[in-house]
Homo-oligomer: A and B are copies of this chain.
């Protein structure tokens, strides 16, 4: 059904393309427009944030002009000189073009022209980049991806000086530089251009944007719908291990919107790559909206492009940093230039949502175009409202049927739980089914490792993915979820993982005292069902909310189950005895275990284990139900890390041997505080006195927990149906419980 609908849409689009008279002769028309520029010029000096942004850009470009133009022969990987220089060049070209339009100072046009002709002169005879690691080498850069970055920015610069250049100059540039450039990253490299992947999105946008400036229908059509006969083999892979072509795969910009985005705007590769792809998505969309408004690109797939901006903003912690799902470098945030574009464009084209303005205020700069002006004017006029991050469940998959990510938030981001039950996430996905991470305000409490890479730091493997990304960061044991028999989910194989996804069982954020999400994973291990339910619970007697985690494992065989939790902080106390080895050995030999040192080992004599730690100014305790034979392991990342590529972070792991069906129940409890200035230690001990799995069957799992205030609460999960209307009755220890729906939480007041 969905497929049919898309085909119809595509046909409508083709209709538009042929029927609408292109007015691309007017320049600028791509991002800046003639009328927009007029408006901007009228407002100069009256809109503080716009003026400030303009002054910053001007200062930057003026300094670059002062330094002179350099277009070195391409040589380096990212982080190296030629890479960084060409990258800086395209950023400067785009900005100089804008300055020319807004300030109407010819020196900027001269700068753009002169640099373009240096590129024109060099490009003609340029071979593929000498570094060979990429499956699709560029010419200016080591991969077509970066060449596409270049063209996305430079097409904007060209648009800005188009009218100022002579016809002859334009012809020379188009013939020797832009057209061959666009062909090289598309028809010459279909394995790059014709995929559904963030790489291709950049390629599509690059080709489409220069096509719009040049009024080149062929390029525009190629950008939107891909190359018809790409000659690619199904099953081929790129250098990151991602599929280049799968059966029935569509291509082009519209396919790249349609497939990786769920209807909720979640991008299957995760927020780090969504951020990266956001720029070409939105800037090309903006260009299409300006040049081809009848396409109604922002309404495509029920407005998913604008929804995706909202999704992305909701995938940040209290500091604005993206959750590092899949391959994501920590520290990337909504302060990035891509998000400045995204938020301004979403504000302007997405109904002027005043909450977005508070993000713009934090970013403290705007785009130098209609959208940036509009946001800056609204901020000047005090229209900004705080951006409210709430709990949100984002589906994954083109139709929203391939699992998702649940983000539970309590209060003003006092506690944020990120629960991942998504699809594989293409080649940047990790084998981390039903994993999670936890934040208090902007501080990581239970961390997701992120990627093993130092983006653009040349000394670290050319700034590219390090081998530890595969041997550690992607492996299941690197995540806060179950590893069975020391084997990663889907055997760590992308071919298998990419065919599956977890399924939402239920999600409910409608109650003040419990917000809860539950999901099942049936394919990570054959014969084993993983069913995890996680909740943020607030009980009246405790000052802070806590997380309750129920991981139910059902198997037909006896297995070893490892459930690690990568806490951040220093151990303050445990309730069990452990011993520290005199010599550290790796915990295993493969699947990520080879990177873990075993730092300590213990067992609990009680039915619960407790681990308390201090992170910055706050205390936390993990209380878990344990069995007498459970091994309680302290681990440290860093074994077999021959180049210090990994952080030496701590972990605590419960290992349960020879079990088929079992439940791991835990409470992760923030409590108290410590001040290094007053040296006051407040409430440094856990308030969870007991935690017990009081019932577990195929049909129901029930847990009780007791606080030091003596209150006992119970949570029951109906394992087999999430039907909201279904009535349940269950007797536990002579007490009968009756309720309706997938779960029952009974809070004792």
Q: Which residues of B contact A583 (CB under 8 A)?
A: 583-585
A643 and B677 contacting across the interface, CB-CB below 8 Å:
no
- Select one of B335, B457, B573 contacting A677, CB under 8 A: B335
CB distance from A598 to the nearest CB of B (A): 10
**Given the contacts A454-B614, A456-B680, A681-B84, A642 and B580 also touching, CB distance less than 8 Å:** yes
CB distance from A367 to the nearest CB of B (A): 16
A5 at the interface (CB under 8 A from B): no
A332 and B458 contacting across the interface, CB-CB below 8 Å:
no
- Select one of B330, B597, B634, B647 contacting A584, CB under 8 A: B597
A605 at the interface (CB under 8 A from B): no
**Given the contacts A331-B676, A571-B644, A79 and B336 also touching, CB distance less than 8 Å:** no
B456 and A79 contacting across the interface, CB-CB below 8 Å:
no
A292-337 residues with Cβ-Cβ distance < 8 A to B are 329-333, 335-337
B333 and A677 contacting across the interface, CB-CB below 8 Å:
yes
Chain A contact residues, majority secondary structure: loop
B457 and A681 contacting across the interface, CB-CB below 8 Å:
yes
A678 at the interface (CB under 8 A from B): yes
B456 and A681 contacting across the interface, CB-CB below 8 Å:
yes
Q: Which residues of B contact A570 (CB under 8 A)?
A: 644, 647
A572 at the interface (CB under 8 A from B): yes
CB distance from A623 to the nearest CB of B (A): 15
Q: Which residues of B contact A644 (CB under 8 A)?
A: 570-571, 600, 634
CB distance from A637 to the nearest CB of B (A): 10
A336 and B677 contacting across the interface, CB-CB below 8 Å:
yes
| Contact flags A589-618 to B (C-beta < 8 A → 1, else 0) | 000000001011000000000001010000
Q: How far is the CA of A423 from the CA of B93 in the complex (A)?
A: 61
CB distance from A22 to the nearest CB of B (A): 35
**Given the contacts A459-B684, A584-B583, A648 and B636 also touching, CB distance less than 8 Å:** yes
Q: How far is the CA of A684 from the CA of B650 in the complex (A)?
A: 28
Q: Which of the listed residues A329, A456, A636 has the most CB atoms from chain B within 10 Å of its own CB?
A: A456
A677 and B332 contacting across the interface, CB-CB below 8 Å:
yes
A640 at the interface (CB under 8 A from B): yes
Report the interface size class on chain A.
35 or more
Q: How far is the CA of A644 from the CA of B638 in the complex (A)?
A: 17
Q: Which residues of B contact A539 (CB under 8 A)?
A: none
A614 and B572 contacting across the interface, CB-CB below 8 Å:
no
A711 at the interface (CB under 8 A from B): no
A586 and B580 contacting across the interface, CB-CB below 8 Å:
no
**Given the contacts A84-B681, A580-B642, A582-B586, A459 and B676 also touching, CB distance less than 8 Å:** no
A685 at the interface (CB under 8 A from B): yes
A641 at the interface (CB under 8 A from B): yes
A695 at the interface (CB under 8 A from B): no
A678 and B79 contacting across the interface, CB-CB below 8 Å:
no
Q: How far is the CA of A84 from the CA of B679 in the complex (A)?
A: 11
CB distance from A653 to the nearest CB of B (A): 15
| Contact flags A438-477 to B (C-beta < 8 A → 1, else 0) | 0000000000000000111111100100000000000000
Q: How far is the CA of A580 from the CA of B642 in the complex (A)?
A: 6
Q: Which residues of B contact A571 (CB under 8 A)?
A: 643-644
A135 at the interface (CB under 8 A from B): no
CB distance from A703 to the nearest CB of B (A): 26
A700 at the interface (CB under 8 A from B): no
Q: How far is the CA of A725 from the CA of B650 in the complex (A)?
A: 57
A330 and B455 contacting across the interface, CB-CB below 8 Å:
no
Q: How far is the CA of A599 from the CA of B584 in the complex (A)?
A: 10
B678 and A337 contacting across the interface, CB-CB below 8 Å:
yes
A506 at the interface (CB under 8 A from B): no
A681 and B614 contacting across the interface, CB-CB below 8 Å:
no
A164 at the interface (CB under 8 A from B): no
B677 and A331 contacting across the interface, CB-CB below 8 Å:
yes
A117 at the interface (CB under 8 A from B): no
Q: Determine the residue in chain B with the shortest Cβ distance to A457.
A: B681
Q: Which residues of B contact A612 (CB under 8 A)?
A: 459
| Contact flags A718-741 to B (C-beta < 8 A → 1, else 0) | 000000000000000000000000
A674 at the interface (CB under 8 A from B): yes
Q: Which residues of B contact A460 (CB under 8 A)?
A: 572-573
CB distance from A657 to the nearest CB of B (A): 24
- Select one of B333, B459, B580, B682 contacting A640, CB under 8 A: B580
Q: Which residues of B contact A679 (CB under 8 A)?
A: 329, 332, 455-456
| Contact flags A546-585 to B (C-beta < 8 A → 1, else 0) | 0000000000000000000000001111000001101111
B678 and A336 contacting across the interface, CB-CB below 8 Å:
yes
Q: Which of the listed residues A455, A572, A585, A636 has the most CB atoms from chain B within 10 Å of its own CB?
A: A572
Q: Which residues of B contact A641 (CB under 8 A)?
A: 580
Q: Which of the listed residues A582, A585, A678, A679 has the most CB atoms from chain B within 10 Å of its own CB?
A: A679
Q: Which residues of B contact A458 (CB under 8 A)?
A: 681, 684
**Given the contacts A648-B636, A648-B648, A677-B335, A572 and B684 also touching, CB distance less than 8 Å:** no
B332 and A680 contacting across the interface, CB-CB below 8 Å:
no
CB distance from A636 to the nearest CB of B (A): 7
Q: Which residues of B contact A636 (CB under 8 A)?
A: 638, 648
Q: Which residues of B contact A650 (CB under 8 A)?
A: 648
A630-683 residues with Cβ-Cβ distance < 8 A to B are 634, 636, 638, 640-644, 647-648, 650, 674, 676-682
8 CB contacts below 8 A, A to B, read A330-B676, A335-B677, A571-B644, A580-B641, A583-B585, A634-B644, A636-B648, A648-B648
What 14 additional pairs, Cβ within 8 angstroms, besides A333-B677, A459-B684, A571-B644?
Answer: A79-B681, A79-B684, A84-B680, A84-B682, A329-B676, A329-B679, A330-B676, A336-B677, A336-B678, A454-B614, A458-B684, A460-B573, A580-B640, A580-B641
Report the 7 A-B pairs with minimum CB-CB distance, sorted nearest first: A331-B676, A571-B644, A584-B584, A459-B573, A456-B681, A455-B679, A457-B681
